[in-house]
Structure 1
Amino acid sequence: MTADRHDDGPEPDGQAPSGTGKVMKRRVFYLPGYDPIHPRRYRELYRSEGGKQAKISGYRIAQKAAQGDRFGWMVRGQTGRDVTVAKIEVLLWSDIVRSSMDTGVLGTYLALVRTVWIYLSTGAFRRLTLLGRGPVLAALYPVVALLVQLAVALGLAWAAGALVSRFVYPGAGWIVALPLVVLILRGFRRVDRRLFAYYLMHDFAYSARLRGAYPPELEARMKQFGTAIAAALASDADEVLVVGHSSGAHLAVSILADLIRAGRVPANGPALSLLTLGEVIPMLSFLPDAHRLRRDLHFLSLRDELTWVDITAPGDPCSFALCDPVAVSGVAEPDRRWPLVLSAAFSQTLSDEAQEAMRWRFFRRHFQYLCAFDRPKDYDYFQITAGPLTLAERFAGRKPSINRIDVAVSGYTSIAA
């Protein structure tokens, strides 16, 4: 099936939210995607964009540093008379990302060959094309870009070698050509902060290298994350909200599935909420050895211990917009509860000027979920993280997007351990 989609800080001051069922204290755990950058940029993004959204939407929000060993910050939000204090923590795995990217030029090209072979030989790439053009083009971009860079390097080196052989010393051209290929490719890598070819190639290669299984170092880190979330669930918070962005979405799914299976979600504890943003789950769940992820998707979709809302947007070319990750992975039951699949509808919630400014800034669009909207509807990242309503209350009665894709597409559906 091919589907085209359209948009349809400070400490508490003792004032409790008015009414019942409102959130006075919230713990937020943010799981970033495959990102080697220091998490301070998430703190500064929250500060700048939260201030913009508060001004647009007419509420107050203040932020300050949080105490503790893990990186985070405190937020105080006030909507009318309702005051909510949230502690937001970033669950760090950027060191794992940096380590996986430290392979050199040759290692990157070997990863390219291996990754392309895995996706083509398993049929996963063909099935991913059925979910939309955006993420498929995003996946093809680093492959094409790196091959073009190699062609340019070889072409220039051949030309230089031919000139040396003709005008300097016959047959000596290769002495110049081989080092020149290396120098040119290294030059391309040095400017990858603008091109993102190496970054994206390592992103896809890291997910694919074990054919969909989580690497051991990531499994170990996920257990640490689970311990932190379990501690919050045993606190006096009113809500524990886990936010998984991009590649962080499937990590969040597996972490919460583990916690529920282990009985670490108390029945009378804080409300447990999962918000997945700009997810790329099919890139992993469509691979043959992603048994663990598919099992976790299946399990979590049936549970009543949590609320799971999935937000994407057709305007984000780096996510699988409006794809129900459980359904397209082929593990949905007829009576499943989650996720509630909704659109951030950039074409409706952002001004024409804002959309034009992001027209060719694909990564900026992928991060828009964490930013301010000119014409916000019910999706407001700052109200969700620092407002008075739980995720369940905020989206109570909300129907899923009518343009969602909720049919099985993956060729691999096994959830066996």
Structure 2
Amino acid sequence: MGAFGRMRNSLSFTPPDLQEARLEPVRRRIVFYIPGYDPEARTRYRLLFVREWTRYTKRFGGGRREISRAELSQDGLVQSWTVSAPEQGDGAETRYDVLLWDDIVARDFARSRFLSVALLIVGTLQTILSGLLFRFYRLSWKYGNVILYPFVMVILLAALSVAIAALVHAHLGDWFGHSLGLPLWVSLPLGVIAGLVWIKAIEAFLNRVFFWQLLNDWVFNWQHGQGRRPDYERRLDAFAEHILSSVAARDEAGHSTDEVMIVGHSSGGLTAAEVAARVLARDTSIGTSGANLSLATLGSGLPLVAMQPAAARLRGEIARLVTDRRIVWCDFHAPQDWMNFPGFNPLHDLKLRLCGQPVANPLVRSARFRDLLCPETYRRVRFRPFRMHFQFLLANERPGAYDFFAMTLGPRRLREQVLAPDAYSEPEPAVPL
């Protein structure tokens, strides 16, 4: 097997200097969930949460729990709801805040398509010439293909457009005896227009194959790594302030919180890590007493940005997370997911300056989707990259060490959930799967 096919790092890693265990159960939890690069986040994740929780309870039980209506903050940046503690059994009362940046994504989608394609070409060529693309391939050949996909599609679409333009020009101009004999200044522009119009005509197809989604996502990650997204940086600061103010408000109101959990999926995994670093930097007391501070990154694309040479500030933030014992960070990945980096470990794959400090993070674990899904389901979805990528947020079909709802609604802190997955009694399916 070639270098691109080998998994260089173990799929599991436990840092040597973890925070002390907190064995008492979680009664109240705040989850700050950060979506990935999704222009429809404010309409997607509440519905997804309710649907999958319903499926989860049908399969595993868990007691009746009330989910409140979603409320949108005045500034439009936070969508919130609460989940009550179960009437029977163990579980936490959970406040669930979705931190929104879909307006930034929507502005990316609204810009000129020509500009988006130009940015894609520049960013991809730079990544290839610098050798960074080959490092991505070494980490995950599947994600390497996802990165190259929009670039290859642009080449194919451009070639077909030129062919259509030439064909139209040939049949309208005076190249052949059977042509219409229109002058060059008429036939050539008409050929160019035809070469562009057909791309607009297949817009629905391009959206169905996620062409523009993956193109804009890659451009965003490249721009962020180059330090060219001040709008996103401002949003990170706003998210950090919201987390700190929410925790402080609950403390002042006497609603003690046992665990504050920051969760990010896909590109939101990187966002969650950046926000957590800002929270720790702004409040030196958080995580030292009272509520545990936890960070869960699910199917993260963090290397896409952190491995860019210009992303020195981000690597500094990751280094602080790696050595800060006030937070427990667990990075979940899955080899079956095309859009993450199984085996990636910032300690091994990033040049971090730890200055001799002990390593406290991250816990690295595989979600092992093959074990969580029934064989029939797995065969049906294994070649659907986006469906597999979202399995991190979906209800299990089988009990397993990775369990999104046990993590966010259950009675155990993230650290204990990850370190001792066999210590809890796995739920038996409530109905046949």
Tell me the TM-score normalized by structure 2: 0.84
**Contact in 1 for aligned 2:35/2:265 (Cα 8 Å):** yes
**Which of 154, 172, 191 is the aligned partner of 1:177?**
191
**2:330 matched residue in structure 1:** 309
**Which of 265, 268, 279 is the aligned partner of 2:300?**
279
CA distance in 2, matches of 1:217, 1:4: 38
CA distance in 1, matches of 2:322, 2:117: 38
**1:414 matched residue in structure 2:** none
Partner of 1:64: helix, strand, or coil?
A: coil
**Contact in 1 for aligned 2:11/2:342 (Cα 8 Å):** no
CA distance in 2, matches of 1:336, 1:122: 30
Distance 1:126 1:110, change over 3 A: same
Q: Is residue 338 from structure 1 mapped to residue 361 from structure 2 by the alignment? A: yes
CA distance in 1, matches of 2:204, 2:51: 29
**2:152 matched residue in structure 1:** 144
CA shift, 1:133, in A, is: 0.7
CA distance in 2, matches of 1:332, 1:346: 34
Amino acid at match of 1:270: A
Q: Is residue 4 from structure 1 mapped to residue 6 from structure 2 by the alignment? A: yes
**1:403 matched residue in structure 2:** none
Partner of 2:323: helix, strand, or coil?
A: coil
**2:180 matched residue in structure 1:** 168
**1:409 matched residue in structure 2:** none
Larger radius of gyration: 2
Partner of 2:371: helix, strand, or coil?
A: helix
**Contact in 2 for aligned 1:74/1:87 (Cα 8 Å):** yes
Map 1:233-382 to 2 at 5 A.
233-234=247-248, 235=250, 236-266=256-286, 267-331=288-352, 333=354, 335-382=358-405
**Contact in 2 for aligned 1:29/1:242 (Cα 8 Å):** yes
**1:14 matched residue in structure 2:** none
CA distance in 2, matches of 1:52, 1:354: 15
CA distance in 1, matches of 2:31, 2:41: 18
CA distance in 2, matches of 1:55, 1:332: 48
**1:395 matched residue in structure 2:** 418
CA shift, 1:20, in A, is: 6.8
Distance 1:355 1:79, change over 3 A: farther
**1:227 matched residue in structure 2:** 241
Q: Is residue 65 from structure 1 mapped to residue 41 from structure 2 by the alignment? A: no
**Which of 25, 28, 39 is the aligned partner of 2:28?**
25
Map 1:118-157 to 2 at 5 A.
118-157=126-165
Amino acid at match of 1:88: Y
Q: Number of residue pairs matched?
A: 389
Percent of paired sites with the same residue = 28
Q: CA deviation digits over 1:26-60, x for unaligned, max 9?
A: 11111111111142211111111111122222313
Q: Is residue 90 from structure 1 mapped to residue 98 from structure 2 by the alignment? A: yes
CA distance in 1, matches of 2:181, 2:152: 35
Unpaired runs of 5+ in structure 2?
Answer: 13-21, 251-255, 423-433
**2:19 matched residue in structure 1:** none
CA shift, 1:325, in A, is: 3.3
Amino acid at match of 1:318: M
CA shift, 1:121, in A, is: 2.9
CA distance in 1, matches of 2:238, 2:292: 21
Distance 1:187 1:261, change over 3 A: same
Q: CA deviation digits over 1:102-134, x for unaligned, max 9?
A: 222311221122111221232211211111211
Amino acid at match of 2:418: F
**Contact in 1 for aligned 2:83/2:93 (Cα 8 Å):** yes
Moved more, 43-52 or 63-72: 63-72
**1:200 matched residue in structure 2:** 214
Q: Is residue 43 from structure 1 mapped to residue 46 from structure 2 by the alignment? A: yes
Amino acid at match of 1:65: R
CA shift, 1:273, in A, is: 0.6
CA distance in 1, matches of 2:266, 2:384: 16
**Contact in 1 for aligned 2:259/2:294 (Cα 8 Å):** yes
**Contact in 1 for aligned 2:46/2:70 (Cα 8 Å):** no
CA distance in 2, matches of 1:261, 1:20: 27
Q: CA deviation digits over 1:202-258, x for unaligned, max 9?
A: 111112125443611111111110011112332322111100111111121121112
Partner of 1:273: helix, strand, or coil?
A: strand
CA shift, 1:290, in A, is: 0.5
**Contact in 2 for aligned 1:146/1:197 (Cα 8 Å):** no
**Contact in 1 for aligned 2:166/2:191 (Cα 8 Å):** yes
**Contact in 1 for aligned 2:29/2:259 (Cα 8 Å):** yes
Partner of 2:310: helix, strand, or coil?
A: coil
Distance 1:67 1:265, change over 3 A: farther
CA distance in 1, matches of 2:225, 2:263: 25
